[in-house]
């Protein structure tokens, strides 16, 4: 499960977690191409919806 954190959550391109931006809403890395794009907003909404749908992690 660790490699999810080194991929852009929008396009799934590999990113360096040390240098990439992170979407604060979903706490996942996003590459420069996707940052601020409509796709990012869409994915973000999808993920947040999924989390609200009973998949709540208590680890934060
Ligand atoms: Zn991307």
**How far is the centre of ligand 1, averaged over its atoms, from the C-alpha of 24 (Å)?**
15
Angstrom distance (rounded) from CA 50 to CA 37: 20
Query: Which residue from 29, 23, 24, 21 is spatially nearest to 4, judged by alpha carbons?
Result: 29
In Å, how far from its chain's centre is CA 27? Answer: 6
**How far is the centre of ligand 1, averaged over its atoms, from the C-alpha of 17 (Å)?**
13
**How far is the centre of ligand 1, averaged over its atoms, from the C-alpha of 58 (Å)?**
27
DSSP, residue by residue, 4-40: GGGB-TTT--B--TTTSEEETTTTEEE-TTTTTSHHH
User: Would you kindly state where each structural domain of the chain is located, as residue ranges?
Assistant: 2-52
**How far is the centre of ligand 1, averaged over its atoms, from the C-alpha of 54 (Å)?**
26
pLDDT of residue 16: 84
**How far is the centre of ligand 1, averaged over its atoms, from the C-alpha of 60 (Å)?**
24
pLDDT of residue 2: 53
Give the pLDDT of the chain (60 residues) as one tens digit per residue.
Answer: 454 458 999 999 999 877 889 999 999 999 999 999 999 999 999 999 887 665 555 565
pLDDT of residue 32: 92
pLDDT of residue 20: 85
């Amino acid at each position: 499960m660790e490699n999810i954190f080194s991929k852009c959550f929008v396009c799934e391109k590999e990113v360096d977690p040390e240098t990439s931006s992170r979407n604060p809403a979903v706490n996942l890395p996003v590459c420069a191409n996707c940052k601020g794009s409509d796709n990012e907003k869409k994915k973000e909404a999808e993920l947040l919806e999924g989390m609200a749908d009973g998949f709540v992690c208590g680890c934060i």
